[in-house]
């Protein structure tokens, strides 16, 4: 039996001016059904974001990214989503939306450790 499991992931992108379509990768969401894991890690490169939009709402973007991490963490930080299973929380977070913080397309892979995979993807795709 393999110790690797299918996981899904999506980038979190900050789109400061939706009409321009420019974006900065700012986080990653990971879901592994076999491990009942959903997690998010974020890293906001404020200099890159301000290069796209000098008037970007940094406190608002930081709050939106923290909210995504909170939904993944569950418990009180998840608000109304606290009672939802990890898969439902992931699906809600990756649903398309036209806001400043947007999820990218969902991709798949194999991992033995979804938390380590979340960190690896953050390093590879965001930092």
Confidence grade of residue 94 (pLDDT, cut at 50, 70, 90)? very high
* Residue 14: closest CA among 38, 40, 46: 46
pLDDT digits (tens, 9 = 90+) for 13-57: 999 988 888 999 999 999 999 999 999 999 999 999 999 999 999
The pTM for the full model equals 0.90
pLDDT digits (tens, 9 = 90+) for 54-77: 999 999 999 999 999 988 887 777
Q: What is the pLDDT of residue 24?
A: 96
Q: Rounded to an integer, what distance in angstroms lies between the CA atom of residue 30 and that of residue 34?
A: 12
Number of folded domains that form the chain: 1
3-state secondary structure (DSSP) of residue 12: strand
- Domain, as residue range, for 103: 5-125
Helix axes 86-94, 58-73, angle to 10 degrees: 150
Buried b (16+ CB within 10 A) or exposed e, 69-93: bbbbebeeebeebeebebeebbeeb
């Amino acid at each position: 039996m393999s110790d690797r499991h299918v996981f899904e992931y999506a980038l979190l992108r900050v789109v400061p001016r939706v009409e321009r379509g420019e974006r900065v990768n700012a986080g990653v969401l990971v879901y592994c059904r076999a491990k009942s894991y959903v997690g998010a890690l974020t890293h906001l490169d404020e200099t890159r974001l301000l290069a796209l939009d000098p008037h970007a709402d940094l406190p608002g973007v930081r709050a939106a990214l923290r909210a995504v991490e909170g939904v993944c963490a569950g418990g009180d930080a998840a608000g109304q989503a606290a009672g939802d299973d990890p898969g439902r929380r992931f699906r809600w977070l990756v649903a398309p939306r036209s806001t400043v913080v947007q999820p990218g397309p969902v991709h798949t892979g194999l991992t033995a450790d979804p938390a380590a995979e979340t960190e690896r993807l953050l390093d590879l795709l965001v930092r």
